[in-house]
């Protein structure tokens, strides 16, 4: 049975479980359950702290895990990314009190608080900077006003927490992160791991695309196909009216409104966009 780690709480937990459900896997109903067996798919899920997941997968105890790229790198566990999952996006940044221009070299000799000490130590070394790295478990942004640190390195999502504490981010992002599916580095090939990765990939694609359906005068079909080329080529079906055809094509979700505008301006009618739940491309 394939053994798969899933975040049990925090920023990635809900979306990770939803993605697995969407891919056809059984997930827990009770948020305190630590394991769920999915006998139909021959998978056992283990609900673990996101920070610990790369360690279990890297040690070979578990076959696959969903965690954050930043957490996996900070763990230094021997894992590789199998698939980027498109949620839990964040950047990992240095930040310090607003009111002056900070550079990474300004951190030399200062106290720097973080929950991701390995990421920070490696990045400081790349910059040739020596600082006093203080490891905190969370709520890192408050450490400066409490007098424990001069600067921080932390996860930035919306940027709201930094603003609330009058901090500004500086330097290049140390890590651009999102949720990822990881496996042990140099693991033997496995059909079971491939299958779970392919099913998740199907959901990731489905979430990045929408299906567009529209009616198009035959005379405008070539121009319409240029706007919606689809993946291979769009489906074109006859309509009862001989001058019209129905067209169906996948389009990137981020472009869907602009594409619908273009089709409407061209002369397409009844332009409908719908979600795709899962797919194999
Ligand atoms: N505000 C956010 N926006 C987007 N992603 C985030 C945000 N906060 C955390 N993440 C991502 O979620 C992961 C960390 O999740 P989480 O906060 O659950 O872990 P944790 O802080 O170690 O757990 P805990 O806070 O329970 O100790 C990281 O990959 C991080 O990049
Ligand atoms: O840019 P924002 O959208 O404000 O998000 C960033 C905040 O979210 C995370 O904290 P989390 O909720 O995980 O709490 P923690 O600091 O206790 O880990 C992160 O550590 C930042 O503090
Ligand atoms: Mg957190």
pLDDT at 281: 81
Q: Which is the closest atom of ligand 2 to the Cα of 154?
A: 20
**Which ligand is nearest to the Cα of residue 50, counting in written order?**
1
Residue 11 neighbours by CB under 8 Å, 6+ apart: 50, 68, 88, 90, 157
pLDDT at 101: 96
ipTM above 0.90, yes or no: yes
The Å distance, Cα 12 to ligand 3 centre, comes to 10
The closest alpha carbon to 248, from 275, 213, 217, 208, belongs to: 213
CATH 3.30.230.70 fits 90-175, yes or no: no
Strand order in the sheet with 244-252: 235-238, 244-252, 209-217, 269-275
Q: What is the pLDDT of residues 135-163, one digit of tens each?
A: 999 999 999 999 999 999 999 999 999 99
pLDDT at 233: 94
Q: Which is the closest atom of ligand 2 to the Cα of 140?
A: 16
Domain residues of the chain, as ranges? 2-82+178-188, 90-175, 209-275
d(Cα 259, Cα 212) in Å, to the nearest integer? 9
- Determine which residue's CA is closest to atom 9 belonging to ligand 1: 11
Q: Is 107 in the pocket of ligand 1 (CB under 6 A)?
A: no
Q: Do domains 2-82+178-188 and 209-275 have the same CATH topology?
A: no
pLDDT at 59: 97
Tokens 């965690």 belong to: 67
Residue 208 neighbours by CB under 8 Å, 6+ apart: 86, 252, 253, 254
Q: Which residues of 61-90 are buried (b: 16+ CB within 10 A; e: fewer)?
A: ebbbbbbbbbbbbbbebebeebbebbbbeb
Joined tokens for residue 70: 């930043």
Tell the CATH superfamily of the 2-82+178-188 domain: Periplasmic binding protein-like II (3.40.190.10)
d(Cα 229, Cα 251) in Å, to the nearest integer? 8
Residue 141 neighbours by CB under 8 Å, 6+ apart: 95, 152, 154, 161, 162, 164, 165, 167
Q: Sort 222 into a burial class: Cβ within 10 Å, 0-12 / 13-18 / 19+.
A: exposed
**Degrees to nearest 5, angle at CA 61 with 23 and 26:** 25
pLDDT at 106: 97
CATH node for 209-275: 3.30.70.120
Q: Which of 68, 135, 138 to mutate to test the pocket of ligand 2 (most atoms within 8 A of CB)?
A: 138
Which parts of the chain have pLDDT scores under 50?
none
pLDDT at 26: 95
Q: Is 82 in the pocket of ligand 1 (CB under 6 A)?
A: no
Q: What is the pLDDT of residues 224-249, one digit of tens each?
A: 999 999 999 999 999 999 999 999 99
**Degrees to nearest 5, angle at CA 188 with 118 and 80:** 25
d(Cα 145, Cα 151) in Å, to the nearest integer? 10
Residue ranges around ligand 2 (CB below 6 Å): 10-11, 138-141, 154-161
């Amino acid at each position: 049975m394939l053994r798969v780690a899933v975040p049990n709480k925090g920023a990635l937990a809900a979306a990770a479980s939803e993605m697995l459900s969407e891919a056809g896997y059984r997930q827990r109903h009770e948020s305190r359950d630590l394991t769920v067996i999915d006998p139909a798919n021959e998978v056992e899920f283990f609900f673990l702290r996101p920070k610990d997941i790369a360690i279990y997968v890297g040690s070979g105890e578990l076959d696959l895990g969903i965690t954050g790229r930043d957490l996996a790198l900070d763990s230094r566990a021997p894992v590789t990314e199998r698939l980027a999952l498109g949620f839990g996006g964040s950047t990992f940044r240095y930040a310090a009190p607003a009111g002056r221009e900070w550079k990474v070299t300004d951190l030399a000799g200062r106290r720097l608080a973080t929950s991701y000490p390995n990421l920070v130590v490696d990045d400081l070394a790349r910059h040739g900077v020596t600082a006093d790295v203080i490891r905190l478990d969370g709520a890192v942004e408050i450490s400066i006003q409490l007098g424990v640190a001069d600067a921080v390195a932390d996860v930035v999502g919306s940027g709201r927490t930094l603003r609330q504490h009058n901090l500004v981010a500086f330097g290049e992002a140390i890590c651009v992160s999102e949720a990822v599916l990881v496996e042990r580095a140099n693991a033997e090939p496995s059909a079971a791991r491939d299958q779970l990765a392919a099913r998740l990939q199907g959901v990731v694609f489905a979430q990045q695309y929408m299906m567009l359906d529209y009616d198009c005068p035959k005379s405008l079909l070539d121009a319409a196909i240029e706007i919606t080329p689809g993946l291979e080529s769009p489906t074109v079906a006859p309509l009862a009216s001989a001058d019209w055809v129905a067209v169906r094509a996948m389009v990137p979700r981020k472009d869907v409104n602009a594409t619908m505008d273009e089709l409407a301006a061209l002369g397409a009618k009844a332009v409908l966009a719908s979600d795709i739940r899962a797919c194999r491309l």
